[in-house]
Each structure stands twice: as structure tokens, then as C-alpha cells.
Amino acid sequence: MLRLDAVEAGYGDVMAARAVSLEVRAGEIVALIGSNGAGKTTTLRAIAGLLPLRGGSVELEGRRLSGLGPAAVVAAGIAHVPEGRQLFPTMTVRENLELGARTAAGRARRAETLTRVFELFPRLAERLGQLAGTLSGGEQQMVAIGRALMARPRLLMLDEPSLGLAPVVVGAIFANLTAINRDGLTILLVEQNVLRALRCSHRAYVLENGTITLAGDSATLLADERIKRAYLGR
Amino acid sequence: MAVGLTLIFGVMRVVNFAHGDMMVWGMYLAFVLSTRAGIDPYVSFVVCAAALFVLGVAVQRGLVDRILAAPHEMQILLMLGVALVLENTALLAFGPEPARVRSPLARLTWDVGPLYVDVARLVTFGLAIVLTLALSLFLFHTERGRLIRAAADNPYGAMVIGTDVRRVYATAFGIGAACVGAAGALVSPILPFQPPTGLSLSVTSFNIVIIGGMGSLLGAFIGGLLVSVAESLGAVFLRPSLKELFSFSLLILILLLRPAGLFGRRAS
Ligand SMILES: Nc1ncnc2c1ncn2[C@@H]1O[C@H](COP(=O)(O)OP(=O)(O)O)[C@@H](O)[C@H]1O
Ligand SMILES: [Mg+2]
């Protein structure tokens, strides 16, 4: 469904992603793991059109996305839950969610999607009129995910949804990702929480210093000695 | 007026020094429409708003867009440049003599008991309230308006959800300029003007926005009321030429007590 071929992106002199190639197939949860500064966020931003590609190509269902801006990428069917959530803090939860429905599909199925978001995150239904900036970190993450779902994407990308959240909350968020995937949505998940990410995904890629160094089934990677030593502290 | 400035600053964090000069252009436009076509400014303000909307979008697209990422000083310099160009074009086109638009309304007064109520001012005030309300409705209850607020709140977040932020900025700048154009036309029968009037209008509206709190429409409106009351009292009790003394004292007082302005949010 999504294919990255030798993608390069960076900032000024920093080449943060060097020749990143990966594939996400329809229906999968694919994890992109790696330590801090490995280039995970850079890769997602390049896919989302928020950072220009310096080389390589991005394709969604055979259609080239390279060179498109963020608006066109969203319209093509990729929704992004960015690092740091990037909500609209002085707007209400409802406004934040509804602003996610900017695609044709999202607009057409707004009410239906909103109902599904409330099923996944009942807490949001109670907080609809509250300003997003006044929510707890976990609730803000729920809004960020809900806002992305409102676009009715074909592919959902998440950048460290567990960052800064209490373990219980992280557990709930990951359970929700599995539920969203069962609805039929394909997911590309970026995480530093390697154990959680490998447990919830089908396949995974390991990113180090801007390049993919390891790839495979998540179950296999969970048992891999190199992964255990470098990321699981065992 | 100040509401337009609030919108531009609130959304784009661009300090628009050309504000007063845009207002003067609104006034001259009302003047031309009144003298050449006989259209009363209380009608032609709609045309002035539309014309300034176009000017605002053009300035945003052609100039401001290029320097949004640049440091604040650059934006201030750019807008000062735009202000100078607008002022001097007005000077070329209309000459330095003070102008005033005649409207039958401006000669009417109502006697309410011991008070004289100036009908023109009353109408201007009423229309200002209507415009502010309409703008709030637009910002809070339409998708376009919500996008403008979202882009003001978090431009990066707005890009993430697939918004063409530059287009939203152009709309916001255009609407801001349209408010100014309407305001210019509406005060043109009350306030005599000439090209350099723009600078003092800019200063006054900054004063209003800072008192009300940057980025708050309600604040801009209340700030406008306070400043005009302060200036009228100043004109009555001291000398008309000293009226600004009152509004600036008010500004200093409010900044001492509430640095973010009456309705401003603290920068986070
Ligand atoms: N805005 C930026 N400007 C310059 N360098 C950046 C910027 N963002 C990230 N980097 C650098 O790019 C590299 C990869 O960063 P990032 O993609 O954020 O990594 P990750 O998400 O895996 O932690 C790091 O070395 C980081 O310092
Ligand atoms: Mg990151």
C-alpha cells in the first residue's frame, strides 16, 4: 500500500533520513522503531509532505506522492498523528475533532466517524466542550488520534503516541490501535517503546542513524538477540 | 479598525503598520464614491470593504507570504514600507488637503432630554457592533472561520490536518483589511482626513489592540470603546490636541496592571 524507496530528507546540513526504504501492506500494523534521533520523525514528516524529499520516492497504492504538499497527501488518504500531538489548544475537543474531517471522505462520513471515535474513546464524549489545551496528556493523545480518524484515511501514521504517558494510559492507547486496525485501517507506527510496538505490530523496521538496519516479523524481532541487547535491555 | 488588526496579528503574528493607511484608503474610496457617484458612505462601506479585501489578499500573497518565516523586525520593516507606499500614493492621487465626506446623516442630531445624540456616530457605532458580531459568527460557526482560528492557534497542526495555511492567511489578511476598509468608510463623514492621517490611525488602533489584549476580538471592541471614551474626556477636560494623552495614560496604566491586556491570553 505504502512504499518508500531510498527516501532522503533532512534539515540544512543534517541528513536525518538516508536511503530509507520500507513497505506497508494493506491491513498491516508496521512499526518503525529506533532510538532518539534515529530519524523516525523525519521519515514520517517526509511521507506527510511536511518536509521536502531530497531523494527517493514515496508511493501510496502505486501513486507517487513525492513532491506533494501536506494538503495533497492528506487528500490522498494519509492521516498523521504527529509527535507532540499538535492540537489546537484554545479550541474545543469537538472543534479539534471536526477540523480533522477535511477530506471528501471525512466530510461525507463525519457523523458516523464521530460516533466510532466516541466508542473508542468514551472519555472524549464527556469532554466535547472542553478546550483541548486543558486536557490531560492521555486525553490529548486520544483527540489527536480521533482527529486523524476523522479524515477517513487509508493509512494512519502515528509518531510516538506513548510519549510522556503513564503505563496504564499507554496500554489503553495501544489496545485502541489494535481495534482501529481491526476496523480495516492500515497503520504505520513510530515508537521508541520498542517492546510495546513489537507486541502490537505485524512487522517492524529498525532505523539507526537514518538508515534501516533490520526488518522482519515483529515476533521474530522480539526474539532477536540484537534487538534484545540494544532496545529491550536484556 | 482594531478588530481587523486583531485578526491579522492573532492569526499570523504579523504586526501590520499599514493598517491606518489602509483605513485612509477606505476613507478616500468612500470620498470618491460619494463625490463622483453620489453614494452615501453608509452604503458604500460595503464596496470599500470588498476593495480592501482584494488589496489585503494582494499584499498578503505578494509580500507577506515571502517573509512569514523571517524575524519580526523584517515584517515590521515590510509593513512600514507598504504603509509608506500607500500613504504616498494617496498623496499623489488626492493631494494634501484635508477631505471630508458629506452625508445627510452627519448633519442630523437627536435631542434626547438634555442630550444631543449625533445620529452619524450612533449609526457608525451600531454598524461596528454588527460587523464585530458578524465576524465572531464567521470565526466560530463556519468551517473557514474555524480554520482561521486553528491556523492562529497552531499553524503546524493546521498543516498536519491538510490545510493550505497560506490560503487561510490570505483570507484572514483580506478580512482584516476589509474590516479596516469598512471602518474607514464609516468614520469618513465624522472624521476629516488627509493622507498622513494613516499613521495616527495605526497608532490609535495599536493602542486599542494592546489595551484589549492581542488576539481577542472582544478585547479589540472593548478597547476601542475605552480609548474613544478616554479621548473624548481628554478633549473635554483638557484641550482637544491633548486627547491622546488620556488614551496613552490608559494604555500605560493597563499595561502596568495587566501586561497581556484586558482580554489577552498570556503567551504560553
Ligand atoms: N528541525 C530540525 N532541525 C535540524 N535538525 C533536526 C531537526 N529535527 C530533527 N533534527 C535532527 O535530525 C535527526 C533525526 O531527528 P528525528 O527524525 O526527530 O529523530 P527521531 O524521531 O527518530 O527521534 C537528529 O539528529 C536531530 O537532531
Ligand atoms: Mg521523533
- Per-residue pLDDT tens digits for B247-257: 677 777 777 77
Report whether A204 contacts A31 (CB < 8 A): yes
Domain residues for the domain of A195 are 1-77+156-234
**Least reliable range by pLDDT among A169-183, A204-218, B41-55, B231-245:** B231-245
Are residue A48 and residue A160 in the same domain, yes or no? yes
CA A205 to CA A185: how far, in whole Å? 19
Cell of A121: 474513546
Residues A133 and A188 in one domain: no
- A34 Cβ inside 6 Å of ligand 1: yes
Cα A108 from Cα B261, distance rounded (Å)? 42
pLDDT at residue B8, as a whole number:
55
pLDDT of residue A204: 96
Backbone region of residue A180 per phi and psi (left: phi > 0; alpha: psi in -120 to 50; beta: other values): alpha
Q: What 3-state class would DSSP assign to A83?
A: coil
E strand intervals along chain B? 109-112, 115-118
- Whether the pLDDT of residue B266 is over 60: the answer is no
pLDDT of residue B90: 87
Stronger pLDDT, B236 or A53, i.e. the higher one: A53
CB contact under 8 Å between A91 and B160, yes or no, is: no
Smallest Cα distance from B188 to chain A, Å: 37
pLDDT in tens, A47-92: 999 999 999 999 999 999 988 999 999 999 999 999 999 999 989 9
Given a cut of 80, is residue A106 above it in pLDDT? Answer: yes
* Averaged confidence pLDDT in chain B: 78
Any ligand 1 atom below 6 A from CB of A17: no
Interface of A with B in 66-85 (CB under 8 A): 69-71, 73-75, 80, 82
pLDDT at B115: 66
For every residue of B214-260, DSSP letters joined together read TT-HHHHHHHHHHHHHHHHHHHHHS-GGGHHHHHHHHHHHHHHH-TT
Percentage of residues of chain B with pLDDT beyond 70: 72
Does residue A65 share a domain with residue A178? yes
Residue A19 pLDDT exceeds 60 = yes
Residue of B nearest to A104 (CA): B162
- Residues B2, B6: Cα–Cα separation, whole Å: 6
Mean pLDDT: which of A146-150, B4-8, B58-62 is highest? A146-150
Q: pLDDT-derived band of residue B123, with 50, 70 and 90 as boundaries?
A: confident
- Of the candidates B149, B160, B265, the beta carbon closest to that of A70 is on B160
Mean pLDDT (whole number) for B156-166? 93
Choose the final residue of a domain: A103, A134, A153: A153
Under an 8 A CB cutoff, do A88 and B150 touch?
Answer: yes
Task: Give the span between the Cα atoms of A219 and B28, in whole angstroms.
Answer: 74
Of A69, A74, A90, the CB nearest to B161: A74
C-beta of A13 in contact with ligand 1 (< 6 A): no
Q: Going by C-beta distance under 8 Å and a sequence separation of 6 or more, which residues neighbour residue B178?
A: B4, B49, B50, B52, B53, B56
Return the higher-pLDDT residue of B250 and A12: A12
Looking at per-residue pLDDT, the higher value among A153 and B90 belongs to A153
Angle at CA A176, nearest 5°, toward B155 and A25? 80
Q: Are A130 and A69 within one domain?
A: no
On average, the pLDDT of chain A sits at: 94
Number of domains in chain A: 2
Q: What is the pLDDT of residue A114?
A: 96
pLDDT exceeds cutoff 90 at A23? yes
Residues A70, A185 within the same domain: yes
Binding site membership of A161 for ligand 1 (Cβ less than 6 Å): no
- pLDDT above 80 for A157: yes
Nearest to B19 by CA among B106, B86, B101: B86
CA-to-CA distance for B207 and B6, rounded, in angstroms?
Answer: 11
Q: Whose CA is nearest to atom 21 of ligand 1?
A: A41
pLDDT score for B3:
54
Cβ neighbourhood burial of A141 (10 Å; 0-12, 13-18, 19+): buried
Element containing residue A204 per DSSP (H, E): strand A203-208
Supply the pLDDT for residue B1. 45
Query: Would you call B249 an interface residue with chain A, using a CB distance cutoff of 8 Å?
Result: no
Q: Contacts of residue A50 in chain B, CB cutoff 8 Å?
A: 159-160
Query: Bigger pLDDT: A232 or B159?
Result: B159
Interchain CB distance below 8 Å, A102 and B159: no
Residue B268's pLDDT is what? 39
User: What is the torsion angle, in degrees rounded to the nearest 10, for the CA atoms of residue B52, residue B57, residue B60 and residue B65?
Assistant: 180
Q: Which amino acid is at A176?
A: N
B160 contact A CB<8A? yes
Complex ipTM over 0.90? yes
A-chain CB neighbours of B164 within 8 Å are 69, 71
* pLDDT at residue A33 in the model: 94
Ranking A8-17, B3-12, B68-77 by mean pLDDT, the lowest is B3-12
Q: If you average pLDDT over residues B242-246, what whole number do you get?
A: 66
Same domain, A69 and A15: yes
Q: Which of A54, A52, A43, A49 is nearest to A4 (CA)?
A: A43
User: Which residue's C-alpha cell is 489584549?
Assistant: B213
Q: Please give the helix or strand (H or E) that residue B12 lies within, else none.
A: helix B2-12
Secondary structure class of A64 (helix, strand, coil): strand
Contact B192, B28 (CB under 8 A): no
Say if the Cβ atoms of A91 and B159 lie within 8 Å: no
Task: Tell me which residue of A185, A186, A144, A182 sits closest to A163, measured CA to CA.
Answer: A144
Residue among A167, A112, A173 nearest A143 (CA): A173
Q: Report percent pLDDT > 70 for chain A.
A: 100
Q: What is the CATH number of the domain that holds A65?
A: 3.40.50.300
Minimum mean pLDDT among A106-110, A161-165, B89-93, B259-263: which range?
B259-263
Which residue, chain included where needed, has cell 529491550? A232
Task: Give the best-scoring range by mean pLDDT among A181-185, A228-232, B137-141, B263-267.
Answer: A181-185
Q: Are residues A14 and A72 in the same domain?
A: yes
Residues A162 and A66 in one domain: yes
Q: Do residue A162 and residue A57 come from a single domain?
A: yes
The pLDDT confidence band at residue A196, using thresholds 50, 70 and 90, is very high
The whole-number average pLDDT for the span B190-202 is 81
Q: What pLDDT, in 10s, does the model give residues B165-183? A: 889 989 988 988 888 888 8
Tens-place pLDDT, residues A122-144: 999 999 999 999 999 999 999 99
Q: Smallest Cα–Cα separation from A20: which of A205, A220, A216, A223?
A: A205
Residues A73 and A9 in one domain: yes
pLDDT in the model for residue B252? 76
**Residues A53 and A167 grouped into a single domain:** yes
Helix/strand/coil percentages in chain A, nearest 5: 40, 25, 30
Give the mutation target among A8, A18, A20, A41 for probing the ligand 1 site: most ligand atoms within 8 A of CB: A41
Let me know whether A67 and A164 are in one domain. yes
**Alpha-carbon distance B85 to A22, whole Å?**
54
Identify the three-state secondary structure at position B118. Answer: strand
CB contact under 8 A, A71 and B164: yes
A9-23, A185-199, B204-218: range with lowest mean pLDDT = B204-218
User: What residues have CB less than 8 Å from B131, skipping those under 6 apart?
Assistant: B3, B179, B182
Instruction: Please give the backbone phi and psi of residue A86, each rounded to the nearest 5 degrees, phi first.
Output: 50, 50
Give me the residue spans of the domains in chain B: 2-196
Neighbours of A77 (CB within 10 A): 21
Contact (Cβ atoms closer than 8 angstroms) between residue B178 and residue B49: yes
Domain boundary among A122, A153, A184: A153
